[in-house]
Every structure is written in structure tokens, then in C-alpha cells.
Amino acid sequence: MDNLVIKNARICYNGSLIFKDELYIDGITGRFTPSPTNSQHITDLRTIDMENRIIAPAFIELQTNGCFGMHFTNFVDEKSYDENLQKVSKYLVQQGVGGFYVTLPTVETVVFKKILPHLKPRKYNGGAELLGAHCEGPWLNPSKKGAHDATLMQIPSQTSIEQLYGDGERVSAIKMITLAPELDGSTRLIESLSKEHDIRVSLGHSAADFDTGLVALRAGATTMTHIFNAMNPLHHRSPGLAGLIASDESPYFSLIADGIHLHPATLAMAYRASPHKCILITDSVEMAGLPDGLYPGHAQIPHQQRKQGNKITIEGTDTLIGSCSSLDECVRNLVQWSGCSLAQAVQCATENITKLMGLRDQGIIEVGRRADFVVLDDTVQVLETWIGGKPVYQKA
């Protein structure tokens, strides 16, 4: 494959737009290089003129429960599950996503053990890379269950990682776990997950107060899951977990920027408190990409689900299940509602996640990293997506 030189592009880097005369990609490794490799003659270069369009790192989806008809807890057999993951992978690049973490909510132990072996990191030809699993449960507070099944929630002091998720091979697929830090045994569990298993611990679905949150951070927790949702509200005398975003020990935190889970003003306030720790997520479910209507339940929710635009609720209730927003839409919303720049919003779907998760290949456009990037216009519309220096999606 020819080496590439990309000319006349504006690059999103560290929250700024930087004009780049030339950007080189090694045709063999699919990685960014400082210049054409010594083994190639200048005539071997293929030139692409971006005509001042924007190049951003391909987006990273930290929390998705499913999309395009697949809920990640719905396991029928190995073959169909793996085929559906590949379909999801190819669907996500249409929204500029180059890597995704499969979120497994609170389900029965047998479901965790059955699915986790299929969620080890892997690449898909022409699609987004599967980066591992994010287990959102079952160590959650039943009083903040949201759409989770409270009967399946567990107490850390009474259970072990192996009991709930399985052996070491299964646990190795887990890259993040969301838990409630006020539960008995949580501090020891956080220490074990973060130090012994190299799993990122996120605080969420919790009624913890501010001080309990600080203890959890000092034990090794590094982020918070969809802040303001499924936790105590921010109060001027009792800030709760949400108050941690303005503390000296501010963790990373994720926001569902769909205009349904958070009021735009709330989202803007959170972002401005700590822009370099803000992470955009969709928290999407299987109806993302499908028409409005009534849909059946699954292993997480044994009830019918109602889709109305980007809003999903348990039929007959106001309980929010997830969202149907896309990650590029969330980036556009953050720009509109917070007043931040396009590059600053992109950072919340790329670089911030890369730094939280310790990714070495994705999320930053720099020499040595894989050439996973998205081409955008000035309104954050996805025009092209490239993975490993190869185009995998082009807007018609």
C-alpha cells in the first residue's frame, strides 16, 4: 500500500485547531510518521488534499449498551453474537467512531460469564475496534438503580470478582467497572480492581456523599459514570458525587449530551468545571439507528421499551433506559450548549478518554499512533472515517 501525505488540513490536537501543511501515514504500518519513510521514494507517496477540512482523532465510545438492533446482553449463540458485534462495528464508523467499549449493565452472573469471552479487544476489517468491556454493575445501589434490575445487585463484601464475572480470562476483557462506593467493602474492591487487575473504576448508580467519593478516589477510582444521572443531585450544602468535578482531586466524568438526560445548562456547567476531565458518552441502546416504536425487552430489562426520537423509556413509565444519540451528535451538542470550540468538544470524545484508559494507539493524532481519524466539516458533520490509514466510511 502506498504511503500517504495529507495536505491542507486543520488538525484537532489538545483542544485546539492547528493547520498542518502535511501529515504523513506509513502505508505498511497504518501509523502516523514524521516524514516519508527512508525506504520509499517521493514518487511512492499518494497525496490527498483536504482543502482546509478538519481532521480529528476517530471518536471513542466509552459507554454503549448497544445499537443498530443489538443489545449487548442479548446472547443467543456465539456465531450470531460475534456477527452482530461486527455489524455494530461497521455501523459506528458512520458516526466517526474508531473504537468502542461494550457496556454490560446489571445482569445475571451466568450472562456475564457467557458474554465476556467475546468482548476481548479485537479489530474488525472496515469497522471500529472493540476495546473491551465496561461492566456497569452489579455493585450498584438499589436506590439509584435507574433501569437496572435491583434484585441482581450485589454487595462487594459478600462477593468476589471471580464469582460474578468468572475466571481470569473473562476478567481480562473488563477494562472498566462502575460501582457505588458507599456499599460495604467497596474501598477494598476499588483497590483490588485498580491495582491488581488494572481495571478503571468509575463511580455511579450511587447515593454516596462527597466525602465517600473522595475516599473512593484515594483508593483508586478515576472517573464517574453519567454524572447527575442515577446519583444524588448537586445541593449547595451537600454536593454529593457530582461535586467532585470541581474538587482538587477531580476525576474524569462522563456526560450524556442528548438534551434528555441533562439540561443543556447543566451539561455546560459540568464541562466548564473541568474541560480536560470531561468525557462524552451516548449510553446508547439497541434502538439507536432504528425507527421509533415499541420494542421487546432483553436480559437487562424484561419489559417493553418505547423509542421516541432519542428518548427510550420502559413502556408505561418515565424511567429512562438509555439514549439513541450518536457520538458525533453529542459533540455538536456540547459545542452549541457550552460555547466551547469544535476542537475542545472533540477532545471530550477522544483525547480525554485515551488518557483515562491509557490507550496507546487511538485518540490522539501524533507520530507513532495508528492513523484512526475522522474528517469533519465546520458543523461537526462526519464526512469520512479512516482506520489504520485506510478509509472505511465516506458520506454519500
Residues annotated catalytic, as ranges: 283
For residues 144 and 284, what is the distance between their CA atoms, to the nearest angstrom?
19
Q: What spatial distance separates the first Cα and last Cα of the chain, rounded to whole Å?
A: 25
- CB contact at 8 A, 347 and 11: no
Query: Which residues neighbour 61 within 8 Å (Cβ) at sequence distance 6 or greater?
Result: 92, 97, 99, 100, 101, 128, 281, 282, 284, 327
**DSSP state at residue 231:** B
Query: Which residues neighbour 75 within 8 Å (Cβ) at sequence distance 6 or greater?
Result: 81, 111, 114, 115, 299
For residues 322 and 311, what is the distance between their CA atoms, to the nearest angstrom?
7
For residues 72 and 310, what is the distance between their CA atoms, to the nearest angstrom?
19
- CB contact at 8 A, 137 and 150: no
Q: Which of 57, 56, 60 is nearest to 99 (CA)?
A: 60
Q: Which set of grid coordinates corresponds to residue 287?
A: 434502538
Pairing between β-strand 311-314 and β-strand 293-295 as defined by DSSP bridges: unpaired
For residues 158 and 167, what is the distance between their CA atoms, to the nearest angstrom?
18
For residues 16 and 34, what is the distance between their CA atoms, to the nearest angstrom?
20
DSSP state string for 340-379: --HHHHHHTTTHHHHHHHT-SSSS---TTSB--EEEE-TT
